[in-house]
Amino acid sequence: MRLAWQGGQVVVDQRRRLPGRGVYLHPGCGPRLLRNRGVPRGLRREVDGAQLRDLLDGLAPPPA
């Protein structure tokens, strides 16, 4: 999955076609990205941590 910057926030780039820098995310690695600030570093932008956390929580499969 690819995350990209659009409209002032991080969005999921389903088709992997949005312009600009993107960050590829391996399934299950969302918590690691939050800890090591991988998304802001990859996008080279300041990212709202709460918005990113909500986005990643929405992508996580429900616990079994």
Q: What is the pLDDT along the chain (64 residues), one digit of tens a residue?
A: 899 999 999 999 999 999 999 999 888 888 888 889 889 999 999 999 999 999 988 876 656 6
Whether residue 16 lies inside any domain: the answer is no
Whether residue 28 lies inside any domain: the answer is yes
Q: Residue 19 burial by CB count (10 A; 0-12/13-18/19+): exposed, middle or buried?
A: exposed
Whether residue 54 lies inside any domain: the answer is yes
Whether residue 41 lies inside any domain: the answer is yes
Whether residue 17 lies inside any domain: the answer is no
pTM: 0.82
Residue-range definition of the domain harbouring residue 6: 2-10+24-58
User: Dihedrals φ, ψ of 15, to 5°?
Assistant: -90, -5
User: What's the number of domains the chain is made of?
Assistant: 1
Q: Find how far residue 9's CA is from the centre of its chain.
A: 10
What count of other Cβ atoms lies within 10 Å of the Cβ of residue 52? 19
Pull the structure tokens for residue 12.
Answer: 């999921």
